[in-house]
Amino acid sequence: MTGRLQPSPLPNGAVRQESLRSINLELVFRHIAAANRPISRTELATVTGLTRPTITRIVEELLSGRLIIESSVAHNGRAGRPRVGLTLSRTGPVGLGLDIRADELAICVVDLSGTVRHLSFHRAASRDAPTVLADLAAMARTTMEAVATDELTVVTATLAAPGPVHDGVVQSAPALGWRGVQAAGPLRDSLGIPAFVDNEANLAALGEMYASGTTDASFVYVSGGLDIGAGIVLDGQLMRGTRGWSGELGHVTVYPEGEPCPCGSRGCLQTYAGLPVILGKERPPTGVTPEAVIINQAETGDPQTLAALERAGTALGIALSNVLNILDINTVLLGGSFSLLSSWIIANVRAEIDRRVLTASWAPIAIRPAMLGPDAAVIGAALTSIDQIRQHPTTWLAQQPRPSWS
């Protein structure tokens, strides 16, 4: 839809000038962000229906706030002098993501364009909540100082947690031994910026959706690692559930009288397809990931590892079949550790889905490794941190010095 957006009138029929300014600014910024090339001021006036003087004022404000830059030229396919193009800034505000993995902590910085500007990993010294949060905060402070030299300003931090989250509290993370851990507060206090916590599978699903460039996708993202979660996306919308706790695939029962699970139940998917279960008693040496150990053992034909991978694929296929029968989704993305181990588990996953999903015989389910692999959650967390500025740039601009002409 093009044309000038108008704010809702006040009860007396008046329109707040500041509200109109914000709406028009966000409209222009969305068109710049959505363009897959530099877009000119003339094109912006055409697609938005705004006047050239209004476009000029908004563009100057966005330039002053370091949200866009004049880069290269914009060609419109017509004869004549090329026009100066506008695109998202590679400096200015950025988002920071944090992730807790099986044996390491990950940190990521993403700029307004969605480009990863920093990605690093640190071995986890402990799973104790205060220690983990302190280590994450130390990593974040070091990273914030490092990216500041590139004129990047971290505005928000988001932590990907392996379990249900509500209001900054990790309600339960059996793989970590956490219950009722306040995570957002300590990070916010330590970093001095807004900090949030979300379920890692949800964040990974959002990261995958952004990476694919589609806004109307429907898929089940399965995150393997410390815990097994599912990010469920329907028509481009993440399904969070009534309280935001949906997607706990790891605690779906696959064998009712099966192995006891740390969550207190029995036969959970986690007890058959979790990374520690596949790894067995083997412990990775320093600097080597659990996935690397499993892959090495599988490639050398270790029978115990191959059997564990086969069991994991079968159990995962059973759990996913229940989800697919209920939701009628035609795509499964294997993410996290599963993306690295997909060569050994995907056949069994597919066999169970083909056997158990009612519609599979005439409407096959696509099953494939996720694009972002094990980094989807930390990238998704960083994208979430910067998305508020992408959606509402006026919030950021309000904190910047106003240009003299405004």
Over the stretch 9-61, which tens digit does the pLDDT of each residue have?
434 333 455 688 889 999 999 999 988 889 999 999 999 999 999 999 999 99
For residue 11, what pLDDT is reported? 44
**What are 66-89's pLDDT values in tens digits?**
999 997 665 555 555 567 899 999
For residue 73, what pLDDT is reported? 65
C-alpha 154/C-alpha 157 separation (Å) is 8
Task: Give the H/E segment covering residue 16.
Answer: none
Q: What is the CA 80 to chain-centroid distance, rounded?
A: 42
Question: Among residues of the chain, what percentage have pLDDT more than 90?
Answer: 67
Q: Please state the length of the chain.
A: 406
Strands (E) located in 192-314: 195-199, 219-224, 229-234, 237-238
Task: Give the H/E segment covering residue 140.
Answer: helix 129-148
Domains along the sequence of the chain with CATH: 17-89 (1.10.10.10), 92-203+378-390 (3.30.420.40), 212-373 (3.30.420.40)
Q: List the structure tokens of 52.
A: 């050239």
Given a contact cutoff of 8 angstroms between Cβ atoms, the answer to whether 283 and 297 are in contact is: no
- Residue 33 sits at the vertex; the CA angle it makes with 93 and 120, to the nearest 5 degrees, is 45
For residue 78, what pLDDT is reported? 57
Question: Among residues of the chain, what percentage have pLDDT more than 70?
Answer: 91
The one-letter code for the residue type at 262 is P
Given a contact cutoff of 8 angstroms between Cβ atoms, the answer to whether 68 and 35 are in contact is: no
**What are 346-382's pLDDT values in tens digits?**
999 999 999 999 999 999 999 999 999 999 999 999 9
Q: List the structure tokens of 41.
A: 């001021």
pTM, two decimal places = 0.85
The one-letter code for the residue type at 377 is A
Question: Which band of pLDDT confidence, cut at 50, 70 and 90, is reported for residue 190?
Answer: very high
C-alpha radius of gyration, the chain, whole number: 24
For residue 75, what pLDDT is reported? 56
CB within 8 A of 78, min separation 6: which ones?
none
C-alpha 340/C-alpha 224 separation (Å) is 10
For residue 236, what pLDDT is reported? 87
As a whole number, mean pLDDT of residues 284-290 equals 80
Given a contact cutoff of 8 angstroms between Cβ atoms, the answer to whether 259 and 272 are in contact is: yes
